[in-house]
Amino acid sequence: MVVHPNVHIPKESWPHWTWYAIECVLVIIISFLASVKITDSFEGLAVDVHNYMITGLFGLFFLIWYIGIRGFILKKKILQNRL
């Protein structure tokens, strides 16, 4: 078997943790935009109530993704030992 040391193998060269970072950033962006759009649909809210609703919906979307969808539906653990 011939082994070439200059062959590019993407799985070994791309850091695995970056996929988790990309996923986390996308979840943050999508959940923030969705929570802002939802709270903007309510009229007559005070500024502090509006901010609390944005924060609560943001956290709810984040928990739904990481615990509900990723944990139970996709069956992928967030933190797992890789040995």
Contacting residues for 61 by C-beta, under 8 A, at least 6 apart: 27, 30, 31, 34, 35
Residue ranges of domains in the chain: 16-73
pLDDT for the residue 77: 63
Contacting residues for 36 by C-beta, under 8 A, at least 6 apart: 54
Which amino acid, 45?
A: L
Which one has a higher pLDDT value, 48 or 66? 48
Residue ranges in the chain assigned as alpha helix (H): 10-13, 17-40, 47-63
pLDDT tens figures, 49-63: 999 999 999 999 988
pLDDT tens figures, 22-42: 988 999 999 999 999 999 998
- Residues 27 and 53: their CA atoms lie apart, in Å, by 18
Answer for the pair 34, 57: CB distance below 8 angstroms, yes or no: yes
